[in-house]
Amino acid sequence: MSDLLDEAAVMTGLKLLHGWQLANDDEKRPAIEKDYSFASFDAAFAFMGRVALTAERANHHPELFNRYRRLLVRWTSHSKGGVTALDLELAAICDKMAADSGLKT
């Protein structure tokens, strides 16, 4: 697993991603998150499934919050207590998957 990044490194990584922001998870650990909006519930749910399968393959699991056509994705490394390079990498993968999953533009 990746090493914990400090806030400056996270902010530098976020500059390479569109729409992601620094946040906290429910345990107040640093996290990154993005709220995606899709054309339909089906598209949002299909994207959530793709994120879940990608996360399982990486053995690194996000927090996912589905609200009809919207999905909030939050990445943090619970075992490290914050954001790692793997979280930023998986955020970038989410953006690529969202682009062909009915993302509302």
Place of tokens 């953006």: 95
What was the pLDDT predicted at 105?
A: 65
CA distances (Å), origin 23, targets 15, 70, 101 = 15, 18, 25
| Global pTM value | 0.93
| 58, 66 Cβ separation under 8 angstroms | no
CATH hierarchy code of domain 7-99 = 3.30.1360.20
- The string of pLDDT tens digits covering residues 6-17 is 999 999 999 999
- Band of pLDDT at residue 101, cut at 50, 70 and 90: confident
Q: Where are the domains of the chain?
A: 7-99
What was the pLDDT predicted at 104?
A: 76
Bridge partners for 33 per DSSP: 21, 74
- The string of pLDDT tens digits covering residues 24-51 is 999 999 999 999 999 999 999 999 999 9
Q: What are phi and psi of 98, to 5 degrees?
A: -65, -35
